[in-house]
Amino acid sequence: MEFSIGTCAKIDQVSMVKQAEDLGVTHFGVGEGPLLFSDPYQFLALAARETSTIQLGTMVTNPLTRIAPVTANSMATLNALAPGRTYLGIGTANNALRSMGNRTAKISELMHAIEVSRDLMAGKRTVHKWLGQDREVEFLDKESGFYNVKDHIPIWVAAGGPRGLAEAVKYADAIVYCLGPNPDMIKLIRTRLDEAVANAGRAPGSVKLVSLSWFYQLENGETWEDGVTNGFGSGPISSCITNSGLMNEHRDVLGDAIVDASITAAQQYLGDPTAADQPHYLDTWAKYLRGLDPKHRPIITKELVDYWCLYGSPAELREKTALMLESGVDITQVFLSNPFTAQRDIDNIGRSILAHA
């Protein structure tokens, strides 16, 4: 079983990557948030020295906080430290840019960054559009050990919506999508992904589907409420925000109840962006991944937790993971939204899921 773990980069917890590798986790990614977390590439470089088999990557970077040649260099440098076991996870961004008060990247900006990064990481010369100019770029010394452009670096694209999916499959080795253990939602995204791959003229199965779920193992006597409080916090609301537009287009497949619940939760969480009393963005993001804000607790219902989260007893976790794979997921992935409890969660994933795979 291919199983991926993501969390934020916390530089004094690099040892958790070796912990994950020893327990059978195949991929480990860390997010990028310049005002929020440790630098992902420094974290991954240290992790590369402590591990030998696990795949290491970003989850995810974006095309605006780092321009494409810088991203390509960072990945190719990591690939020199961990040859053949790196991957570039990239998307339009959420926390990295919104926490600085800026917009997320446009699809066109994302696609150009992917194309340039892909070519550079393969040792090719390509054209980079930057500062209003088109300029040829290429790594200038590929033989002296500065970076590794010989071993392929897969590209994982965090995509949402039909346009993003259609564009991403032109370049991606994998698509990352917010999904929980619901067969209807998984099969819908699997079908849309396969159609997009075919329309792009790529071979069937050439682009993997990577689910992104929120994880918590219930201990004896705990309920789903404990999963929210002690585990994934407001994570499922992120899945609602990401998917509400697409879900609204497929009410016939998914059902009105979960579509309406997801849209309502997203709207309640985001609030009215035109309100005069909006808090400063730095104050808002200061709470990110630092415990559950009590005002968000009523938004998170059991219906949403069941739909978007991989949680339950060890037996239920194994059953839900198997269901996701049977429904069309290629790589199961969880994001551990609380770095302070990540080591506990990794141990539970290894003992309860991977040890029985």
Name the residue with higher pLDDT: 339 or 184.
184
pLDDT, tens only, 95-130: 899 899 999 999 999 999 999 999 999 999 999 999
Name the residue with higher pLDDT: 162 or 187.
187
pLDDT, tens only, 312-355: 999 999 999 999 999 999 999 999 988 889 999 999 999 999 99
pLDDT, tens only, 61-101: 999 999 999 999 999 999 999 999 999 999 998 889 989 99
Looking at residue 46, its pLDDT comes to: 98
pLDDT, tens only, 135-159: 999 999 999 999 999 999 999 999 8
* Span 253-279, average pLDDT: 88
Looking at residue 93, its pLDDT comes to: 87
* Maximal CA-CA distance, the chain: 61
What is residue 250's three-state secondary structure? coil
* Span 26-42, average pLDDT: 96
pLDDT at 35 over 90: yes
Query: To 5 degrees, how large is the angle CA 60–CA 352–CA 345?
Result: 45
pLDDT, tens only, 160-173: 777 888 999 999 99
| C-alpha to C-alpha distance for 354 and 348, rounded to whole angstroms | 9
Who's near 198: CB < 8 A, 6+ residues apart? 204
Looking at residue 196, its pLDDT comes to: 95
> For residue 282, what pLDDT band results from cuts at 50, 70 and 90?
very high
> For residue 176, what pLDDT band results from cuts at 50, 70 and 90?
very high
Q: How many CB atoms lie within 10 A of CB 94?
A: 18
Burial (CB count within 10 angstroms: exposed 0-12, middle 13-18, buried 19+), residue 330: middle
> For residue 208, what pLDDT band results from cuts at 50, 70 and 90?
very high
Question: How many whole angstroms from its chain centre is CA 153?
Answer: 17
Burial (CB count within 10 angstroms: exposed 0-12, middle 13-18, buried 19+), residue 269: middle
